[in-house]
Structure 1
Amino acid sequence: MSTVLLAVDGSEHGQHAADRALEEANARNATLHCLCVVDRRVHAEPGLSTGELSTIEAEDRGHRFVDDVAETAQDRGVAVETAVKHGVPVDVILEYAREVSADLVFVGEHGDHDNHLGGVGRRVADAADCEVVVATERVDSAP
């Protein structure tokens, strides 16, 4: 059985990556692993101080992102596993892809983060041991 990894972040590009990953997982009869990474460069590890609230909120958003994909996958009959991890997104995505023996990785072209942290999809594509699809957002054509 094939394994498809989807890295999500709630962005429009990430949603398009999710749509494409769900289609591909269904076509391959693959297990879809849906991963959201809380970027530790932006959000520190959770703690007890009020300064750590943004980290907790980011993790909660991550769980909502993967839960939404999981619900859609289950509706389509696609086996799905979800994870929310902390770290540097490129590193965590690559490590997780190896951990689950991903055959294919989907990631959005631009994430839901500040521009200075961009390029995750490109860097994953450059370093991955498997095929990577960097999805752009859907552009609807005019009638």
Structure 2
Amino acid sequence: MGPILLATDGSEYARQAAKRAIELATDRGVALHVICVVDQRRFDDTALSSAELATIYAADHAAICVEEIVEMAATEDIRVVGDTRHGSPHDVILEYADEVDAEIIVVGEHGNHTEHFSGVRRKLLEESDREVRIVEGTGGKIMEESG
């Protein structure tokens, strides 16, 4: 069995997805990889411009999102690996899933950037050859699944 990959954005929906991902990793005895992507459609690379502070804030927020999940999983007997990256979220998530050979990708049903996140979920479901689980924000039920 391969590791579980959780894509997070720090939203309450992502927290519910994190709970499910932690349960899955614990039940299967596999590592949990957590990624938060700074969406370059909204934030450019850091440069000397007015967008610099927003980009720095987004990168800091991504690191906090990952650390929150690492702390949530601290009581479980699983290895947790966290990472933040910049790019188009669905592309980065799929690339990272390939890098770690994830068996399952877990995401929340909505995110902090809803206008983009729904497209991310849809693209993950359509483009991934891995199992993708979309977790409901209330109760943590699996809403949609592929793979």
TM-score, scaled relative to structure 2: 0.89
SS at match of 1:37: strand
Shift of 1:50: 3.8
Shift of 1:114: 4.6
Give the aligned length. 140
Instruction: Work out whether residues 3 and 32 of structure 2, in 8 Å CA contact, stay in contact via their aligned partners in 1.
Output: yes
Shift of 1:47: 2.1
In 2, the alpha carbon distance for the partners of 1:55 and 1:34 equals 20
Match of residue 17 from structure 1: 17
SS at match of 1:123: helix
Residue 94 (structure 2) pairs with residue 94 (structure 1): yes
Q: Partner letter of residue 54 of structure 2? A: S
In 2, the alpha carbon distance for the partners of 1:139 and 1:76 equals 20
Shift of 1:132: 0.5
The 3 A distance-change label for structure 1 pair 116 and 95 is: closer
In 1, the alpha carbon distance for the partners of 2:85 and 2:116 equals 21
SS at match of 2:51: helix
Moved more, 61-70 or 118-127: 118-127
Instruction: Work out whether residues 110 and 117 of structure 2, in 8 Å CA contact, stay in contact via their aligned partners in 1.
Output: no
Match of residue 54 from structure 1: 54
Identity across matched positions, percent: 43
Q: Partner letter of residue 4 of structure 1? A: I
Q: Partner letter of residue 44 of structure 1? A: D
The 3 A distance-change label for structure 1 pair 35 and 116 is: closer
Aligned positions of 1:116-135 closer than 5 A: 118-135=118-135
Q: RMSD over aligned Cα, in angstroms?
A: 1.6
Moved more, 71-80 or 84-93: 71-80
Moved more, 4-13 or 48-57: 48-57
Q: Partner letter of residue 55 of structure 2? A: T
In 1, the alpha carbon distance for the partners of 2:64 and 2:113 equals 17
The 3 A distance-change label for structure 1 pair 52 and 36 is: same
Shift of 1:26: 0.4
Which whole-Å deviations, capped at 9, do the CAs of 1:29-50 have from their partners, x for residues lacking one? 1100000000000001112334
SS at match of 1:75: coil
Which whole-Å deviations, capped at 9, do the CAs of 1:90-117 have from their partners, x for residues lacking one? 1000111011000000011111115255
Q: Unaligned stretches of 5+ in structure 1?
A: none
Instruction: Work out whether residues 2 and 29 of structure 1, in 8 Å CA contact, stay in contact via their aligned partners in 2.
Output: no
TM-score, scaled relative to structure 1: 0.91
